[in-house]
């Protein structure tokens, strides 16, 4: 009986201990849950503070202001390009003319060969012969023969004139290309399509608008500089755009015109229309030249 009583007491003690242990565990769980809630709350607060710091840092770096300034400057560049487009078109038409002229000059030089030298000798020889001596050579009319020979010299004169005109135009073209090369090196989009021809103005403006927006988007929000930017830092960010704007505005000291273009084109037309002495006649008259 005593042993049973003793066992019951021990069970009661163990039950009390279990009850106390459960209570302690419940208290610990409650404290742990509260701790987790505190950590989570603190985490959210820290995250919010970090975001606020980022926003303040961006504001200190004037990123939004710089983006807006860039858009304004590029809009002004777009206006300058529009104002200069007529002159730009003239330059590219002159480039096309030079290309055509070079092809025609090459062809004419092949046709001429050494004929100008022979033509000078023929003219001199014909002018030194009497009518009887010419008749013996089957030349009926000295003047007609000289005029026919001089067609060679006329073509040479056209070639020399066209080369001179093209050289004058090329000087303007080279100056223009140098300026455009400097602008493109600073970030201006190319004015040419995939085959090297000038784009239509509307197409170029659309392409440049997309290019500029991509550039601004790519550069925005990537700065890791701490604190507000200095004047030197702002200048570095905007220097290229200022350069492009100024150079586009002053792209042409004097707007180009078509005067040289027209003069060169007139000579090009004359070359294309010019008739050289027929080959059989030319070979026959060469026979009269003394060896």
Confidence band (pLDDT; 50, 70, 90) for 233?
A: low
Report pLDDT digits (tens) over 9-59: 555 555 565 556 666 656 666 665 666 556 666 666 666 656 655 655 555
pLDDT tens string 99-124: 999 999 999 999 999 999 999 999 99
Give the integer Cα–Cα distance in Å for 61 and 234: 10
Predicted TM-score (pTM) of the model is: 0.70
How far apart are the C-alpha atoms of 281 and 32, rounded to whole Å? Answer: 116
Cα→Cα distances 57→60, 70, 97, 217, 224, Å: 5, 20, 56, 18, 9
- The yes-or-no verdict on residue 208 having pLDDT over 50 is yes
Give dist(CA 14, CA 7) in Å, integer: 10
Long-range contacts of 261-265 (CB under 8 A, 24+ apart): 261/90, 261/93, 261/94, 261/97, 261/169, 263/165, 264/97, 264/101, 264/162, 264/165, 264/166, 264/169, 265/97
* Of residues 60 and 244, more confidently modeled: 244
Q: What is the pLDDT of residue 7?
A: 46
Confidence (pLDDT) at 8 = 45
Between 30 and 287, the higher pLDDT residue: 287
Q: Cα angle at 174 between 164 and 262, to 5 degrees?
A: 45
Per the prediction, the chain carries an average pLDDT of: 84
Angle between helical axes of 115-126 and 142-185 (0-180°, round to 10): 150
Q: Distance (Å, rounded) from C-alpha 169 to C-alpha 163?
A: 10
Residues 6+ apart with CB under 8 A from 101: 162, 166, 264, 268
How many residues appear in the chain? 291
pLDDT of 238 reads 81
- Say how many CA atoms lie within 13 Å of 278 toward its Cβ: 3
User: By C-alpha distance, which of 245, 210, 209, 249 is closest to 83?
Assistant: 249
pLDDT of residue 198: 96
Give residue-wise pLDDT tens across range 130-174: 999 999 999 999 999 999 999 999 999 999 999 999 999 999 999
More confident residue, 62 or 248: 248
Helical spans, DSSP H, in the chain: 2-60, 63-112, 115-126, 131-136, 142-185, 201-219, 231-249, 259-273, 279-286
As a whole-number percent, the residues of the chain with pLDDT over 70 amount to: 72
């Amino acid at each position: 009986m005593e042993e049973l009583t003793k066992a019951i007491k021990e069970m009661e003690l163990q039950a009390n201990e279990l009850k106390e242990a459960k209570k302690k565990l419940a208290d610990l769980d409650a404290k742990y849950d509260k701790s987790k809630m505190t950590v989570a709350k603190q985490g959210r607060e820290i995250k919010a503070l970090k975001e606020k710091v980022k926003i303040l840092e961006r504001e200190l770096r004037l990123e939004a202001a710089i983006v807006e300034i860039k858009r304004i400057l590029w809009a002004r560049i777009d206006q300058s390009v529009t104002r200069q487009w007529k002159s730009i078109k003239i330059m590219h038409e002159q480039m096309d003319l030079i290309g055509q002229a070079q092809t025609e000059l090459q062809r004419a030089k092949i046709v001429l060969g050494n004929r100008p030298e022979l033509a000078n000798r023929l003219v001199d020889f014909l002018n030194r012969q009497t009518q009887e001596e010419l008749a013996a050579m089957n030349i009926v009319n000295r003047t007609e023969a000289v005029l026919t020979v001089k067609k060679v010299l006329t073509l040479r004169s056209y070639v020399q004139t066209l080369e001179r005109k093209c050289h004058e135009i090329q000087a303007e073209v080279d100056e223009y290309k140098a300026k455009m090369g400097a602008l493109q090196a600073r970030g201006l989009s190319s004015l040419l399509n995939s085959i090297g021809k000038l784009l239509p103005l509307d197409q170029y403006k659309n392409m440049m608008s997309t290019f500029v927006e991509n550039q601004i988007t790519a550069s925005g929000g990537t700065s890791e500089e701490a604190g507000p930017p200095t004047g030197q830092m702002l200048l570095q960010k905007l220097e290229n755009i200022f350069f492009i704007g100024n150079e586009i505005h002053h792209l042409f000291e004097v707007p180009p015109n078509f005067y040289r273009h027209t003069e060169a084109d007139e000579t090009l037309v004359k070359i294309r229309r010019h008739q050289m002495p027929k080959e059989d006649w030319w070979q026959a008259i060469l026979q009269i030249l003394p060896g």
